Amino acid sequence: MKMKTASLALLLVVLTAGSAWAQPPVGAAAPSPLAAQNHYKCYDIISHDPFDPRLVSLRDQFGLTRAQVIRPVYHCNPVDKNQEGIPYPDIHLMCYEIFDDPYLGTWPLRIYNLNFGWLGIKADKARLLCAPSYKYHITPNPDPGSDGR
């Protein structure tokens, strides 16, 4: 679990789709770079509709790779942390497990986050591709305590 959490923090790549299903709901906030102002709480995906793995090209500050998008692994909701509000409540994240090739090496980084301060890290292998997404259907959990937690 530690590896997945660290991977999520290391790689949030914006994947833009032009198909009709990717259009925002009427009245929704338009996706923009400012959507990164949201905080997100991510949930494991325990089941999903059939998903066809696909090959994508990804370029970020570390370089260009081709990645096999394998399966959805997290759904992330925007969250109101410490009553600070949610700037873009309609924008969620879907995170997919990827196999990224070629390996681009290890990158020492110094990260500054307004909420949690400075942190020195070493970024290694990319494991997730997270895409801003819209959630259309919400079905409440019929028994929130049924999983034993």
In a domain, 102, yes or no: yes
Beta bridge partners of 82: none
Residue 77 lies in a domain: yes
Structure confidence at residue 10 as a pLDDT band (50, 70, 90): very low
Q: What is the pLDDT of residues 56-73, one digit of tens each?
A: 999 999 999 999 999 999
- The overall average pLDDT reported for the chain is 79
Domain span holding position 72: 2-17+54-133
Cβ within 8 Å of residue 131, ≥6 positions away? 13, 14, 15, 17, 93, 94, 95, 96
CA gyration radius for the chain?
16
Per-residue confidence band for 135, with pLDDT thresholds at 50, 70 and 90: confident
Percent of the chain with pLDDT over 90: 58
Q: What is the pLDDT of residue 137?
A: 75
- Tell me: the pLDDT tens digits for 72-122? 999 999 999 999 999 989 999 999 999 999 999 999 999 988 888 999 999
Q: How many domains does the chain have?
A: 1
- Tell me if 120 is assigned to some domain: yes
Place 30 in a pLDDT band, splitting at 50, 70 and 90. Answer: low
C-alpha to C-alpha distance for 132 and 17, rounded to whole angstroms:
10
Instruction: Please check the confidence at residue 128 and state whether its pLDDT lies above 50.
Output: yes
* Residue 24 located in a structural domain: no
Would you say 88 and 38 are in contact if contact means Cβ atoms under 8 Å apart?
yes
Is 31 a member of any domain?
no
Which region holds residue 136: left if phi is over 0, alpha if psi is between -120 and 50, else beta?
Answer: alpha
User: Is residue 9 in a domain?
Assistant: yes
Q: Is residue 122 part of a domain?
A: yes
- For residue 61, what is the DSSP state? T
Of 73, 78, 24, 67, the closest CA to residue 47 belongs to 73
| String of DSSP letters for 102-124 | S----EEEEEEETTTEEEEEEE-
Task: Please indicate, yes or no, if residue 23 is contained in any of the structural domains.
Answer: no
- Say if residues 81 and 115 touch (Cβ distance below 8 Å): yes
CB 91 within 8 A of CB 132: yes
